[in-house]
């Protein structure tokens, strides 16, 4: 199992990263989760443990998560890659409004630059494709931001294999990453994963722990016992073994849970264990 990935061909990252959604309030990633000092401690510990990819978004809070990243980690270590997202506007804990208009994307990106206190965002991901705006216009705006030096690499969130094929065929801006629902118990994005493998594109799975469902799976629990691990650690280890482009960024607001998640990187699954886990859900 390879522990590192070359994001966009020029940013070396450890494949097991950290996602910041859980630093915002629940439900709906709305408002702060708790004292800022707790979030700052988790972020700093993640980097101390060797995390080199921090994944956030402008609408976690909104704005809360990005501001916490800057408070905790700025000035950023040279090896740290900060990824954020834009393209969705929040007006309440349950209201998500897709907005891929060029002027809106530009304004969102520039606001993220200010909150993160950087001149260039390492990975800027379009949080959702806007069906009301031509894809070429959305990608064209990201290409402009990249040519202006405000964005280093571009990614897409919650797409299909067909969407990625369209984006690649348009050839407006290189796609360095995708971010989709994917975990041990939900592999509906397998066609997209295969396309990412073919093109060397990072796949950042969201809900990599199955949103709690893995704790009830007997096969996962059995493998976990054999490694003196938790089912969540086995789920993360499976992702790292399953494909070299999978780069999970599990999130948590708990120091103890952070340590547990990051310890999953040391779990080495046998071929027999991988076969048992692979058999849990259909492959496609």
Q: What is the pLDDT of residues 77-106, one digit of tens each?
A: 999 999 999 999 999 999 999 999 999 999
C-alpha distance from residue 218 to each of 106, 107, 193 (Å): 47, 48, 26
Bond preceding residue 146 cis, omega within 30 of 0: no
Which residue among 18, 60, 124, 182 is the active-site one?
Answer: 60
- Residue spans of the chain under pLDDT 50: 283-284
Q: What is the pLDDT of residues 197-248, one digit of tens each?
A: 999 999 999 999 987 777 778 999 999 999 999 999 999 999 999 999 999 9
Annotated catalytic residue 60: yes
Domain 4-278 belongs in CATH node 3.20.20.100? yes
SS3 label, residue 263: helix
**CA distance linking residue 77 with residue 47, whole number of Å:** 9
Burial profile 65-101: b = 16 or more Cβ within 10 angstroms, e = fewer? bbbbbbebbeebeeebbbbbbbbbbbeeeeeeebbbb
- DSSP line for 23-70: GB-TTTTBSB-S-HHHHHHHHHHHHHTT--EEE--TTTBTTHHHHHHH
pLDDT of residue 283: 47
The model carries a pTM of: 0.96
SS3 label, residue 130: coil
pLDDT of residue 216: 78
pLDDT of residue 99: 98
**CA distance linking residue 120 with residue 114, whole number of Å:** 10
């Amino acid at each position: 199992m390879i522990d590192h990935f070359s994001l966009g061909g020029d940013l070396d990252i450890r494949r097991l990263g950290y996602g910041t959604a859980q630093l915002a309030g629940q439900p709906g990633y709305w408002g702060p989760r708790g004292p800022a000092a707790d979030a700052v401690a988790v972020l700093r510990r993640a980097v101390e443990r060797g995390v080199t990819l921090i994944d956030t978004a402008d609408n976690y809070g909104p704005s809360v998560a990005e501001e916490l990243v800057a408070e905790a980690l700025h000035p950023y270590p040279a090896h740290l890659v900060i990824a954020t997202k834009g393209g969705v506007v929040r007006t309440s804990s349950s209201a998500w409004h897709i907005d891929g208009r060029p002027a809106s994307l530009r304004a969102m990106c520039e606001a993220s630059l200010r909150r993160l206190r950087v001149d260039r965002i390492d990975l800027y991901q379009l949080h959702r494709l806007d069906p009301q705006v031509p894809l070429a216009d959305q990608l064209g705006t990201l290409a402009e931001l990249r040519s202006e030096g405000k964005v280093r690499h571009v990614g897409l969130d919650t797409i299909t294999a067909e969407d990625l094929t369209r984006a690649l065929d348009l050839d407006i801006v290189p796609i360095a990453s995708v971010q989709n629902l994917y975990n041990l118990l939900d592999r509906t994005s397998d066609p997209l994963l295969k396309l990412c493998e073919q093109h060397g594109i990072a796949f950042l799975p969201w809900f990599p722990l199955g949103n709690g469902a893995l704790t009830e799976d007997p096969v996962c629990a059995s493998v976990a016992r054999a490694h003196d691990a938790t089912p969540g650690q086995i789920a993360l280890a499976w992702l790292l073994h399953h494909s070299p482009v999978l780069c999970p960024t599990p999130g948590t607001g708990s120091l103890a849970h952070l340590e547990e998640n990051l310890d999953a990187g040391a779990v080495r699954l046998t071929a027999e264990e991988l076969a048992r886990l692979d058999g849990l859900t259909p492959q496609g």
